[in-house]
Amino acid sequence: MSKIIDDLRGRMAKVGKLMWDEGLTGKKSIYLAGGNISARIPDTDSILIKPTGGSFGSLKAEDFIVIDMNGRVLKGDFKPSSETPMHTAVYRSRHDVGGIVHFHSLYCGVFGIAGIELIPLTYGGGPGVQFMRGVPIVPWVRAGTNELGEVVATALQDRSILLLEFHGAISVGPTIEQAYHVASKAEELAEFQWHVMCIGKPNMIPESARLAMVEAARKKGEFV
C-alpha cells in the first residue's frame, strides 16, 4: 500500500505543477494557492489532499496529507486544505470519483461571477463530452463550510464539472489526472465562449446531437 500511496503523491504533485503552469490556480501575482486537489487512495476510505496555503508551483509529493472521509488527519505535517469539507462530501456521495480539482482560473471565474453558465459550443474530443449538457453555476455558499460541501456534492451527482459563484470551479474524475483534464478543458471552453460572445450571441450544438454524444459515451462506460 505504501508504494501505491507514494505513486499517488507523485502524480498529484505533477498535476499541481501542471495547474500552476497552465494558470488554473489564478493569476500568479495574486494567488499562490488558488484552489486545491485531492485523490482517493485506492481500496480505502482515505484521501490524499493538498495542504492549506502554499504554492501549487512548489508542491512536493510529501506535502500531501492523508485524511479520512470525515476530514480527520491520519498522516501529514501540515493542516489540510480549508476546502476539505467540500472534497470529503463529494467522495462520500460519489464512489466513482477518484480525483477532485478545485481551481480559480481566469475565464471560469469570470463566468461564475457574471452568472453566465458555460454552454456547449464545440466538441473537441477528449473530455469534451462532459460539457455537452453545459456547465451550471452553484449559487454562493461560504467557502470551507459543510454546507458548501453538501450543496456541491448534490449538484455533482450526474456531472463532472461545475462553476462556483464567486469561487472558481470544481471538476471530478475517476483519477486525479482526468479531473485535471476536465478542469483544463473547462477553462479552454470558457475562453472560447468569451470570444464568441464578443462578436455575437453563442449558438449551442443542437440538443439532439448533444444528448446522443452523452448517451453514446455512457454506453461505452465513459465517465461523463
Residue 123 lies in a domain: yes
Contact partners, residue 114, CB within 8 Å, separation at least 6: none
* Beta strands in the chain, from DSSP E residues, in sequence order: 35-40, 46-49, 65-68, 73-75, 99-103, 137-138, 161-164, 169-173
Question: Which CATH number does the domain housing residue 71 bear?
Answer: 3.40.225.10
| Mean pLDDT on 21-26 | 88
pLDDT score of 221: 75
Q: Residue 124: what pLDDT?
A: 57
| pLDDT at position 29 | 43
Per-residue pLDDT tens for 38-61? 999 999 999 999 999 878 888 899
- Asked, for residue 30, whether it belongs to a domain, the answer is yes
Q: What cell numbers appear for 88 in the block?
A: 470529503
The CB density around residue 128, as the number of other CB atoms within 10 Å, is 17
Residue 45 domain-assigned (yes or no): yes
| Residue 176 is assigned to a structural domain of this protein | yes
Looking at the chain, the whole-number percentage of residues with pLDDT higher than 90 is 74
Q: Is-contact 135 195, C-beta < 8 A?
A: no
The whole domain housing 192 covers: 2-219
- Dihedral angle, C-alpha 210, 213, 155, 188, nearest 10 °: -80
User: Looking at the chain, how many residues does it have?
Assistant: 224
pLDDT value of position 123: 66
224 domain residue, yes or no: no
Query: Is residue 150 among the annotated active site residues?
Result: no
Q: List the catalytic residue out of 22, 62, 83, 207.
A: 83
- Asked if 62 contacts 9 with a C-beta cutoff of 8 angstroms, the reply is yes
Q: How far apart are CA 38 and CA 198, in angstroms?
A: 35
pLDDT at 127: 52
In this prediction, residues 86-98 reach a mean pLDDT of 97
Q: 3-class SS at 131?
A: helix
pLDDT digit string (tens) for 155-207? 999 899 999 999 999 999 999 999 999 999 999 999 999 999 999 998 888 88
Any residues with CB less than 8 A from the CB of 91 and at least 6 apart, and which?
38, 40, 47, 69, 97, 100
How many separate domains does the chain show? 1
Q: Best-predicted range by mean pLDDT among 29-38, 129-138, 182-191? A: 182-191
32 pLDDT higher than 60:
no
